[in-house]
């Protein structure tokens, strides 16, 4: 039997032209991430990377890592020990690959990788794409001085790699023997720690923090093997935790100056910089701008809210992979936040580590706000606005318009500027061999040029 459908009354819904279609949340996120990475890579206000490039170039041509000062006309006695020799050489290679353009593109790629991995971790924690972007933006504001081509961002990138390793291996643990788990995680930890300690000496501390983080993840993460007793009795969990922790500890021995000298130099650096260098003072030091007390108080507020979330999850459950991943991140972030109350450098590191947690928190607050808006009485004057601004679409419109308005500035500060210091013309005009007495911000580019 043939059925004929009449065409009367049927209308074709015209599709919207491309300029009226909103981009998806994921597209908006990546546009913002690319823009933030380009702006920070192109308008590099942190000047240490310039002299680090020169240090790396000297190492690449055979100069020993520990050496006498070759730049100052009034050098200090004794050898100088760079605390990021591997990172300096990577910066040197980027310079050889294209001078300022090479340096800009390398920094852009590193920052893009940091933001991208933070976004993926936030999504693994259940964050909405726009919630993850909010967390990234908050981290961008709170830890702005740390988002540069210094070794700090390299350590942070390697930390994300360390957080991803248990996530990568978790599906394989249940079908691997305890010895196999121990060997794989030992090798991964040893390689990561060895690379990290060459990139920056501070990875020695980060390796110990990661060992604790891995231990918490393996013993807490949700596997199909029953409750707490079954988890703690599973030898595969203990093999993964102990093997990975031992590997991270052994990798520390690969530090470029040897373990004892690295410890001695780190202590000497901290003692020399205390109270003298900005990043080694307390955020509550009189005379500082209001930025740093704000960052410190904001971090404490975030940690308080996070502690409340952990308590609720422990009471109500479930202890799943989201809980395990959040625990693994916080095991690293919280000690740095506490240390940051006495030294700014640790406060910035903590803010960078907490970015995925911030994305998760913003998403949960957004869900609560949406529920609150839906339960407002129809007679409430706030209901229409509350419903509008707790919808994704409204924020997609705003973020798209703001991105379009700021795009020319992002292009100017990023690719157009491409990390060329504004004093370059004046620096090039200096006579060769002259003695220059200047601020540290100008000294960095001068040493390179």
- pLDDT tens, residue by residue, 374-395: 888 888 888 888 888 888 889 9
CA distance 26 to 30: 6
pTM over cut 0.85:
yes
The pLDDT > 70 percentage for the chain reads 93
Q: Which run of H or of E encompasses 230?
A: helix 228-233
316 is a domain residue: yes
pLDDT at 158: 95
Q: How far is CA 330 from the centre of its chain?
A: 14
Tell me the per-residue pLDDT of 219-256, one tens digit each, with 9 for 90 and over.
Answer: 888 665 556 666 677 888 899 999 999 999 999 998 88
Q: Quick one: which of 313, 319, 331 has its CA closest to 163?
A: 331
Name the domain count of the chain. Answer: 1
Mean pLDDT confidence for 71-80: 83
Question: Can you read off the two tokens belonging to residue 448?
Answer: 């390179």
434 is a domain residue: no
Instruction: Spell out a b/e string for 42-68, using b for 16 or more CB atoms within 10 Å of the CB, else e.
Output: bbbebbbbbbbbbbbbbbeeeeebeee
CA distance 376 to 273: 55
CA distance 420 to 152: 21
pLDDT at 229: 66
pLDDT beyond 70 at 260: yes
pLDDT at 449: 87
Are 360 and 126 in contact, with CB atoms under 8 Å apart? yes
294 is a domain residue: yes
50 is a domain residue: yes
pLDDT at 7: 47
- Average pLDDT value for the chain: 87
pLDDT beyond 80 at 28: yes
Instruction: Indicate the angle between helix axes 203-220 and 178-199, nearest 10 degrees.
Output: 150
CA distance 399 to 131: 12
Q: Which domain does 226 fall in, by range?
A: 24-64+77-373
Q: Which residue has the tokens 């100008």?
A: 442
pLDDT beyond 60 at 342: yes
Torsion, Cα of 110, 114, 119, 123 (10° steps): 120
120 is a domain residue: yes
pLDDT at 18: 47
180 is a domain residue: yes
How many C-beta neighbours within 10 Å does residue 301 have?
A: 10
pLDDT at 331: 92
pLDDT beyond 90 at 125: yes
Q: Could you tell me the pLDDT band of residue 347, with boundaries at 50, 70 and 90? A: confident
Lowest mean pLDDT among 123-127, 279-283, 316-320: 316-320
92 is a domain residue: yes
302 is a domain residue: yes
């Amino acid at each position: 039997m043939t059925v004929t459908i009449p065409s009367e009354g049927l209308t074709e819904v015209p599709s919207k032209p491309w300029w009226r279609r909103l981009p998806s949340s994921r597209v908006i996120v990546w546009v913002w991430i690319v823009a933030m990475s380009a702006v920070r890579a192109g308008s590099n206000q942190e000047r240490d990377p310039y002299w680090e490039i020169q240090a790396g170039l000297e190492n690449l041509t055979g100069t020993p890592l520990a050496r006498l000062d070759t730049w100052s006309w009034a050098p200090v006695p004794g050898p100088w020990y760079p605390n990021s020799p591997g990172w300096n050489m990577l910066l040197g290679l980027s310079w050889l690959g294209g001078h300022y353009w090479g340096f800009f593109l390398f920094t852009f790629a590193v920052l893009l990788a940091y933001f991208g991995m933070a976004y993926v971790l936030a999504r693994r924690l259940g964050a909405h794409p726009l919630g993850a972007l909010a967390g990234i933006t908050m981290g961008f504001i709170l830890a702005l001085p740390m988002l540069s081509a210094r070794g700090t961002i390299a350590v942070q990138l390697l930390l994300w790699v360390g957080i991803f390793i248990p996530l990568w291996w978790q599906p394989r643990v249940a079908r691997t023997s305890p010895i196999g788990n121990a060997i794989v995680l030992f090798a991964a930890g040893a390689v990561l720690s060895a690379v990290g300690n060459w990139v920056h000496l501070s990875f020695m501390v980060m390796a110990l923090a990661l060992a604790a983080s891995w231990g918490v993840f393996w013993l807490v993460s949700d596997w199909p093997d029953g409750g707490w007793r079954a988890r703690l009795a599973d030898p595969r969990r203990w093999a993964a935790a102990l093997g990975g922790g031992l590997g991270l500890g052994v990798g520390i021995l690969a530090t470029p100056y040897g373990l004892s000298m690295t410890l001695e130099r780190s202590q000497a650096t901290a003692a020399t910089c205390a109270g003298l260098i900005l990043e080694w003072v307390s955020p509550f030091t009189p005379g500082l701008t209001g930025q740093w007390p704000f960052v410190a108080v904001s971090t404490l507020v975030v940690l308080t809210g996070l502690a409340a979330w952990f308590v609720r999850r422990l009471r109500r459950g479930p202890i799943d992979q989201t809980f395990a991943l959040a625990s693994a991140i916080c095991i690293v972030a919280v000690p740095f936040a506490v240390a940051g109350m006495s030294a700014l450098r640790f406060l910035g590191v903590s803010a960078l580590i907490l970015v995925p947690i911030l994305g998760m928190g913003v998403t949960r607050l957004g869900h609560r706000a949406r529920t609150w808006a839906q339960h407002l009485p129809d007679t409430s004057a706030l209901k229409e606005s509350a419903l509008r601004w707790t919808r994704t679409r409204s924020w997609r419109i705003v973020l798209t318009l703001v991105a379009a308005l700021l795009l020319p500035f992002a292009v100017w500060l990023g690719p157009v500027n491409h990390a060329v210091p504004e004093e370059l013309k004046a620096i090039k005009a200096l006579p060769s061999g002259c003695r220059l007495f200047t601020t540290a911000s100008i000294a960095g580019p001068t040493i390179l040029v």
